[in-house]
């Protein structure tokens, strides 16, 4: 036993030494391959199709090294080998968990897709740490999920740092699953665009800069982008008094961004209208927020970022659907011109609103945007907003809360989220909550609930419903999923860009329905 142990140790040491020398001599490309957990009656290594083919090309050396290098790989774990193949300086083998798993009713997502995303991201990051510039990725049976895992896992916002992450270009290994891979790349790039917008400092992403950035991204697809050039006069002409009241506290001018993507062969098809809250910085206004953590409020335009990024992605995918995107953009700042607690403002539909808390500003700008959305005779209206801290308390980062008046719309959103793994969860829209915002001393509505600490996410949704006449409307409160700490393994710490992919998948599903 001792002799066997010594010989094995010497063999592994010798292989590692040779691998390091070969690696230092060549840094051409890296490769990420998948391996499944062993079945109960299986003593061997269970490779993916691509990994099995690679192992055959190196005469079984990969299987041998995996057996020598330690216990079987668990889900999301990776192990790197060097010098196995002349075309690849390093090969990262990643654990995919059990083979054949699918949609989990308890978790409300597809375990197989989530496992692939987590595993591929782990392998790509490990090769990034080794400064491998090009990485080929095993599709692992689902090229779209593999691409999403690679691009989402490698993203980090370091544009303002001198020392940046080593740039890595992931690409598909082999020729199979090319269409699925390319689709996954677009989905991931869409979410990364939202992450970039949300992560950037508020002095870099002002309402004007945000609108110009989206215009630049959408312009290659020859669709209509309207940045209302004299926004305040336009806002006034549209009688958006609630939106204007929030914007007047800042020196930065408000911008109302309107996106038109016409992908349906029938240009008269009723559009899907997506509305996103666009507060590019939220100080709370006169109802000033605590200074601790206020810097994260640069991402209070997460609703606008995800909605606009989803439309850019839908255009890149050439989805056969008509979509209109609306993003009321402004800052919420304290000044002599800002809203004061107790002020009354008038929304576009004529309803008056008592502003008892200036930090409940998102619902004010969305109220006017939702009224405007109905002018397009929409097929459905979906708005997204980092609206309430209460949503974070209720669901945390597990899922975005959905409040909707339509069972059909809920089913479509839920179906999309199971596929993307970026989950949604239905919340109540009871009249119980409506009464708490319609009982106001000075106006038709109050911008906070009668019992301000109770059901805050629900009363905010009830407030928004007062500006909705569409039969199919959904409000996504994404405050809980705004950031990622370590909950989603294929996203680094920081702003998450969620639920961009779910909105894209929702639009894709809607495009296939009559």
User: Which residues carry out catalysis?
Assistant: 289, 363
Task: Please answer whether residues 110 and 102 qualify as being in contact, where contact means their C-beta atoms are separated by less than 8 angstroms.
Answer: yes
Question: What's the CA gap between 282 and 387, in Å, rounded?
Answer: 11
Ramachandran area for residue 131 (φ above 0: left; ψ -120 to 50: alpha; else beta): left
How many CB atoms are located within 10 Å of the residue 3 CB? 7
How many CB atoms are located within 10 Å of the residue 134 CB? 16
Written as six digits, the tokens of 15 are 């292989």
Task: Please answer whether residues 472 and 408 qualify as being in contact, where contact means their C-beta atoms are separated by less than 8 angstroms.
Answer: yes
How many CB atoms are located within 10 Å of the residue 287 CB? 20
Sign of CA dihedral 309, 315, 320, 322: positive
Burial class of 514 by CB neighbour count within 10 A (0 to 12, 13 to 18, 19+): exposed
Question: What's the CA gap between 253 and 55, in Å, rounded?
Answer: 60
In the DSSP assignment, the letter for residue 428 is -
**In sequence order, which ranges of 35-141 are alpha helices (DSSP H)?**
49-57, 61-68, 111-129
Q: What is the CA radius of gyration of the chain?
A: 25
Residues paired with 402 in a beta bridge = 426, 476
How many CB atoms are located within 10 Å of the residue 320 CB? 13
Written as six digits, the tokens of 176 are 């199979």
Strands in 54-102 per DSSP E: 78-85, 88-95
Task: Please answer whether residues 401 and 372 qualify as being in contact, where contact means their C-beta atoms are separated by less than 8 angstroms.
Answer: no
Question: What's the CA gap between 424 and 169, in Å, rounded?
Answer: 31
């Amino acid at each position: 036993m001792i002799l066997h142990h010594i010989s094995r140790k010497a063999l592994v040491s010798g292989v590692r030494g040779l691998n390091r020398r070969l690696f230092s001599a060549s840094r051409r490309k890296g490769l990420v391959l998948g391996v499944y957990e062993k079945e109960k009656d299986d003593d061997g290594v269970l490779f993916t199709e691509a990994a099995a083919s690679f192992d055959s090309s190196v005469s079984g050396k990969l299987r041998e090294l995996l057996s020598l290098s330690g216990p079987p790989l668990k889900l999301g774990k990776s192990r790197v080998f060097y010098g196995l193949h002349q075309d690849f300086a390093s090969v990262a083998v990643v654990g995919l968990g059990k083979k054949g798993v699918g949609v989990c009713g308890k978790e409300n997502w597809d375990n197989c897709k989530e496992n692939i995303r987590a595993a591929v991201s782990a392998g790509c990051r490990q090769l990034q740490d080794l400064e491998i510039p090009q990485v080929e990725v095993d599709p692992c049976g689902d090229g779209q999920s593999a691409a999403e895992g690679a691009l989402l896992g490698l993203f980090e916002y370091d544009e303002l740092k001198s020392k940046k992450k080593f740039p890595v270009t992931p690409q598909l290994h082999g020729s199979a699953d090319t269409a699925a891979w390319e689709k996954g790349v677009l989905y991931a790039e869409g979410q990364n665009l939202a992450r970039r917008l949300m992560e950037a400092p508020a002095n870099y992403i002002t309402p004007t800069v945000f609108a110009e950035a989206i215009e630049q991204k959408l312009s290659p697809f020859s669709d209509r982008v309207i940045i209302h050039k004299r926004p305040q006069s336009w806002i006034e002409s549209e009688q958006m008094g609630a939106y204007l009241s929030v914007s007047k506290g800042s020196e930065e001018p408000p911008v109302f961004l309107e996106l038109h993507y016409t992908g349906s062969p029938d240009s008269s098809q009723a559009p899907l209208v997506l509305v996103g809250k666009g507060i590019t910085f939220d100080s709370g206004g006169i109802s000033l927020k605590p200074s601790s953590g206020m810097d994260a409020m640069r991402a209070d335009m997460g609703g606008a970022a995800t909605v606009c990024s989803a439309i850019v992605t839908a255009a890149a995918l050439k989805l056969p659907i008509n979509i209109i995107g609306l993003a009321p953009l402004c800052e919420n700042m304290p000044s002599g011109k800002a809203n004061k607690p107790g002020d009354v403002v008038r929304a576009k539909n004529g309803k008056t609103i008592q502003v008892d808390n200036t930090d409940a500003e998102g619902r004010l700008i969305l109220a006017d945007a939702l009224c405007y959305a109905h002018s397009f005779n929409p097929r459905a209206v979906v708005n997204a907003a980092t609206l309430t801290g209460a949503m974070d308390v209720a669901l945390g980062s597990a899922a975005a809360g959905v409040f909707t008046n339509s069972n059909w719309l809920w089913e479509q959103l839920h179906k999309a989220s199971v596929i993307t793994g970026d989950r949604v969860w239905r919340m109540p829209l009871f009249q119980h909550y409506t009464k708490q915002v319609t009982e106001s001393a000075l106006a038709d509505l109050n911008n906070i609930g009668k019992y301000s600490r109770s059901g805050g996410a629900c009363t905010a949704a009830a407030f928004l419903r007062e500006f909705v006449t569409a039969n199919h409307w959904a409000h996504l409160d994404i405050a809980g999923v705004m950031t990622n700490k370590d909950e989603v393994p294929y996203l680094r710490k920081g702003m998450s860009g969620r639920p961009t992919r779910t909105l894209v998948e929702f639009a894709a599903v809607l495009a296939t329905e009559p």
